[in-house]
């Protein structure tokens, strides 16, 4: 690519915004030229705005330190200086919906890390290796919003990416019933142990709204585009429990699954290891070369050891075995702030750029 696209990060001072800043440092296609946040941060340099609140282990990239933070609510001003934006704001659902649509109506593509538009019928919710075809619904969305270039695309809930890819690779065998329990890192709540000392030596068996998302969002991802809308799939039937555990990063899932046509264990492992998606076909910069890695060891995957596989963009699976109530059970793992949040959003943007949906203004 001869010229980098200019990128804005709206909500750039929070944990996901910080992770986006980190991931886009040195990106071959994208260059951060604008950061926006609340009015209380506006007018400060980015370094000043996150003073004492930088949550990542790696240092802040030098080239963003002196970017002057803009007011996210001044949509026209922010949009004027960028080709597209990532949005990771902390606001009420209806406020996020309105803000993202306002940006899209300026002709600016919006790649959202927020949940507000995940069920808007003409907004694609994408895991690029799984449902890249859903991006064609953008054409209908643009007509609704009255723009030829702007749109909104969203990434799904971070926890489902620890098990949905593994199930997706086996759809030909028609999974019927799925039980999944997720053990979710505290960064999924935008916190670290300094922010949340109550999580030390503790497990909280409740994450608000998470179980409904974990049960329903996979069905939308496995759905189809019909008459300019995403129609969710009828099955499989999924039930979940979502638990917060004292881990910095990484969501682990224990999964039980039954199939209409039961495959062999060897078939399952082969399909996991061979699975490739559109990002791998296109050679996108952030795409893992091996999307799903299967571990033979009985004690893998482990959160601390395996969350960073393929730069945090791969999914790990292990402990596949037959079950007494279901056909099989296994363990899955994904990095929640990389594959599940900021990294997943960057990969979506790369897919949309490669498919012609994001261009220089």
Catalytic residues: 158, 251
Cα 191 to Cα 200: distance, rounded to the nearest angstrom: 12
Cα 27 to Cα 239: distance, rounded to the nearest angstrom: 38
Cα 100 to Cα 111: distance, rounded to the nearest angstrom: 9
- Outline where 70-148 has alpha helix (H): 75-80, 93-105, 138-145
Per-residue burial over 168-187, b = 16 or more CB atoms within 10 Å of its CB, e = otherwise: bbbeebebebbbbbbbbbbb
Q: Can you say how many angstroms the Cα of residue 28 is from the centroid of all Cα atoms in its chain?
A: 20
Phi-psi region of 50 (alpha: psi -120 to 50; beta: other; left: phi over 0): alpha
Which phi and psi (to 5°) does residue 318 adopt?
A: -165, 180
Q: Give me the sign of the Cα torsion angle 26, 27, 32, 37.
A: negative
User: Which DSSP string corresponds to 114-133?
Assistant: SSTTTT-TTS-B--TTT-GG
Query: Position of tokens 């730069």?
Result: 311
Which phi and psi (to 5°) does residue 222 adopt?
A: -85, 5
Which phi and psi (to 5°) does residue 125 adopt?
A: -110, 115
- Outline where 164-221 has alpha helix (H): 164-168, 210-221
The DSSP H or E segment spanning 6 is: strand 5-10
């Amino acid at each position: 690519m001869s010229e980098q696209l200019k990128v804005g990060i709206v909500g750039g001072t929070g944990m996901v915004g910080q992770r986006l800043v980190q991931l886009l440092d040195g990106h071959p296609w994208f260059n951060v030229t604008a950061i926006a946040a609340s009015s209380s941060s506006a007018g400060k340099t980015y370094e000043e705005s996150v003073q004492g609140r930088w949550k990542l282990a790696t240092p802040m990239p030098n080239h963003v330190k002196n970017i002057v933070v803009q007011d996210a609510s001044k949509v026209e001003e922010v949009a004027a200086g960028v080709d597209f934006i990532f949005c990771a704001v902390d606001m009420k659902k209806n406020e996020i919906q309105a803000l993202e649509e306002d940006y899209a109506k300026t002709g600016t593509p919006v790649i959202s890390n927020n949940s507000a538009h995940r069920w808007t019928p003409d907004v694609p919710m994408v895991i690029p290796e799984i449902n890249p075809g859903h991006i064609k619904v953008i054409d209908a969305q643009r007509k609704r919003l009255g723009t030829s270039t702007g749109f909104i695309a969203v990434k799904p809930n971070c926890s489902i990416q620890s098990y949905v890819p593994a199930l997706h690779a086996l759809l030909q065998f028609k999974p019927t019933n799925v039980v999944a329990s997720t053990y979710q890192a505290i960064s999924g709540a935008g916190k670290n142990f300094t922010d949340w000392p109550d999580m030390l030596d503790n497990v909280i068996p409740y994450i608000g709204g998470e179980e409904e998302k974990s049960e329903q969002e996979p069905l939308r991802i496995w759905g189809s585009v019909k008459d300019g809308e995403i129609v969710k799939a009828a099955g499989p039937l999924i039930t979940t429990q979502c638990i917060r555990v004292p881990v910095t990063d990484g969501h682990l899932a224990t999964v039980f699954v039954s199939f209409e046509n039961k495959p062999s264990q060897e078939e399952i492992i082969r399909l996991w290891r061979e699975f490739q998606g559109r990002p791998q076909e296109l050679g996108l910069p952030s795409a893992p070369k091996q999307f799903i890695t299967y571990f033979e060891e009985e004690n893998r995957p482990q959160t601390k050891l395996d969350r960073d596989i393929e730069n945090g963009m791969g999914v790990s699976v292990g402990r596949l075995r037959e079950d007494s109530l279901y056909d099989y059970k296994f363990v899955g793992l994904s990095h929640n702030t990389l594959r599940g949040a900021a990294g997943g959003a960057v990969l979506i943007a790369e897919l949309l750029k490669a498919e012609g949906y994001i261009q220089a203004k």
